[in-house]
Amino acid sequence: MLIKYNCNSGKLFIKKDMRFKIHSILWIIAILAYTGPVRAEKIDALRSTVQPELEKELAAHDLKLGQPIFIRVFKQEKIAEVWVQETGKKTYNIFKRYPICVFSGTLGPKLRQGDNQAPEGFYDVTAERLHPDSKYHLAFNLGYPNSFDRMRGRTGDFLMIHGGCTSQGCYAMTDQGMEELYILAEAALANGQKKIEVHLFPFIMTRKNLVFHGRSTWMPFWKSLKPAYDLFQKTRIPPKISVQDGRYRVDLP
């Protein structure tokens, strides 16, 4: 029996062969069962220590914990922006910019399993993709590959934003920053937000940056991301993203 531990998700995966033994299976089940109370205690501790201060900071921006959030990541600048929907409005207001310790690889999208490249494009986080038991403190799965990636045969899985300040194919935050990000995401999803849109850009999509990187082989791809950046800059409402004829389509929600 081969037991594989995924460093990003914090989950055990089992591949069976003809030589497996029943006591090995029972041992794994015991480990998985044990993580339940530990996970609950961990999140309860975060709620008691991180959440009160977070609620104060939100209130200072006339925002509340549990309102929908939107995340934008900029690789080159190593920044994760968190926007929160304004009370009684469709528009979002910037809440905080969190530093990213490190991202894997270089500028450009992820192409295949094992290339140690952090993805770029449009992804989302659902309640099922939250991982409080991650090896890297806390994490959430970005849902890579999305339909755009799959159409291009891109492979890989368990691509995360996580804590720990170290990464293999993901975006790594400080533990403190990830704690706040996790509490914000968990509260928004628990309060009715079906999914949290996460837009991963190679850099802030200014004309200056596009000119600077103009010779990159990824420029056509990056230009396909820019309409989403521009529309949000204009409206402060996360755009509707779909894939049509193999390309990203960006519309007003």
* Mean pLDDT along residues 2-22: 43
Quick count: other Cβ atoms within 10 Å of Cβ 85?
Answer: 21
Q: Could you list the residue range(s) of the whole structural domain that residue 159 is in? A: 52-251
Q: What are phi and psi of 83, to 5 degrees?
A: -110, 145
Return all residues near 214 (Cβ < 8 A) that are at least 6 apart: none
User: What CATH number corresponds to the domain at position 93?
Assistant: 2.40.440.10
DSSP state of 253: -
**Residue 163: inside a domain, yes or no?**
yes
- pLDDT, residue 240, reads 97
Residue 152 has pLDDT above 90, yes or no: yes
Total number of domains constituting the chain: 1
pLDDT tens-digit series, residues 87-109: 999 999 999 999 999 999 999 99
**Residue 30: inside a domain, yes or no?**
no
* Mean pLDDT along residues 202-212: 98
**Residue 29: inside a domain, yes or no?**
no
CB-based contact 192:127 (threshold 8 Å): no
**Residue 224: inside a domain, yes or no?**
yes
pTM of the model: 0.85
**Residue 233: inside a domain, yes or no?**
yes
**Residue 24: inside a domain, yes or no?**
no
Q: Which residues are catalytic?
A: 162, 170
**Residue 44: inside a domain, yes or no?**
no
Higher-pLDDT residue of 198 and 6 is: 198
Residue 41 — pLDDT band, cuts 50, 70, 90? confident
**Residue 207: inside a domain, yes or no?**
yes
Higher-pLDDT residue of 42 and 246 is: 246
Quick count: other Cβ atoms within 10 Å of Cβ 69?
Answer: 25
pLDDT tens-digit series, residues 109-131: 999 999 999 999 999 999 999 99
CB-based contact 46:176 (threshold 8 Å): no
CB-count burial class (<10 Å; 0-12, 13-18, 19+) for 38: exposed
Residue 23 — pLDDT band, cuts 50, 70, 90? very low
Residue 78 — pLDDT band, cuts 50, 70, 90? very high
What is the helix, strand, coil percentage profile of the chain, to 5? 35, 25, 40
